Amino acid sequence: MIYDLIVVGSGPGGYVAAIRGAQLGMNVAVVERSELGGICLNWGCIPTKSLLKSAQVYDYMKHSADYGIAVEGEIKPDFEKIVARSRGVAEKMSGGIQYLLKKNKITVINGFGKLTTNKQVEVTAEDGSKTNYEAKNIILATGARSRELPNLPQDGKNIIGYRKALTLEKLPKSMIIVGSGAIGSEFAYFYNSLGTKVTLVEFLPTILPVEDEEVSKQMGRSFKKNKINVMVNSSVESVEGSDGNLKVNIKNKKGEIEVHECEIVLSAVGITPNTENIGLEEAGVATERGRVVVDDYYRTNVEGVYAIGDIIAGPALAHVASAEGICCVEKISGMKVDPIDYTTIPGCTYTTPEVASMGLTEKAATEAGHEIKVGKFPFSASGKASAAGANEGFVKLVFDAKYGELLGAHMVGANVTEMIAELVTARKLETTGHELIKAIHPHPTMSEAIMEAAAAAYDEVIHI
């Protein structure tokens, strides 16, 4: 059989591309070496959110008296059950992907997929047998894995990556987390909430370094308030010891070496694209700095071969991979498609408080030559936030002063990951600051802070 489309990888880029292809009338197959849904559903986005929800519920229970509710007896987390719940959620979602692929009559081929020189996909099954499959179009969506530093080799016991952090057998008493991006910060919040003594080490001057500086500083204060030891401008030089008795040599911001003891080191220093051994060199597919080179529609330099998601340049985010997959397949089908506008991509960190952002930071907007107006509204002035006992954080909006264009949105607070889509849509529709001010927001809601922040930029804010 010659397929219209073969997708190698079934993560949020791969399975979405496959389903959209089937909707457009293509005969589609998906090659997957592990669980359907890829890292996101099985070892990333979904199971981590389950863990974080358990931590949040535990936090609520510890502070139930603040809401006028007395809880008798000892409140303590059952770590084993928290992990089991997380794995159950992941398995359910993976099963949901299996249903969707079957519903859309997509063939699932189990095994490791590799490009061949004649534009086929060679699939090696678990028993070692190899089968070649031919397709008119091939999309590579093989994702990424935890990046390893030379001085922090992961052994799965003393120095671990995010996958092992999801399934530890017992709650560690102490942990050092290296890297304070979304993964590192989310695990710092989770383990600290359950009682682990956490030290968060970041090489750059602020945690969550890709975020607006004010957001990063707010999160640093929140973490410190919750007794997370935050070390910025610092680096882990080496780790000594084993079996839960580790001595970690950390170079602090003064350039001095501090020795910290802990049970486990979690390395969360980014990801490495899965581009090895998938036939790129043999097929002549161009790469740059370990990532596949593509155009605006994800075409490689080899006709009929495409690449999306974490193996190409750009934000390594599940929703980005999904959008790229849809754009790619629609272009293959002959539809008129606009390239993705990467300035509208939202980023979310699911700590407590949450962080959500889109577009240019205040600093980046200024450096790009924009004359800007900035509006900021604190949740401490929000009635809904006060009623919810979650008045930490703020909404910050950056506008072009001349045209009123929304350049960026940066939020830290409760539920802001659910609010950012409004601002993505606003930028997509070229909504101006005054249009946001005049868009009536329901009261009382956290989302009123968006309207108020826009008003603050134009000196029209009412509630501060």
Q: Which residues are catalytic?
A: 443
Q: How far is CA 258 from CA 153, 234, 251, 253, in A?
A: 20, 10, 6, 10
The answer to whether the beta carbons of residues 305 and 140 sit under 8 Å apart is yes
The answer to whether the beta carbons of residues 330 and 337 sit under 8 Å apart is yes
Sign of the dihedral defined by the CA atoms of residues 384, 217, 409, 47, in that order: negative
Nearest 5°: the CA angle 272, 276, 279 is 145
Number of Cβ within a 10 Å radius of residue 368: 10
Residue 27: name the closest of 104, 120, 132, 117 by CA: 104
Number of Cβ within a 10 Å radius of residue 286: 11
CA distance 349 to 371: 29
Both tokens of 429, joined, read 């529709």
Would you tell me the crossing angle of helices 448-457 and 416-428 to the nearest 10 degrees?
Answer: 50
The answer to whether the beta carbons of residues 148 and 155 sit under 8 Å apart is no
Mark out the alpha helices in 288-410 (DSSP H runs).
Answer: 318-332, 362-367, 383-388
Question: Which H helix or E strand runs over 234?
Answer: none
The answer to whether the beta carbons of residues 250 and 257 sit under 8 Å apart is yes
Number of Cβ within a 10 Å radius of residue 396: 26
Judging by beta carbons within 10 Å of its beta carbon (0-12, 13-18, 19+), is residue 445 exposed, middle or buried? middle
Parallel, antiparallel or unpaired: strands 406-413 and 394-400? antiparallel
First to last CA, the chain: 66
Residue whose structure tokens are 């607070």: 413
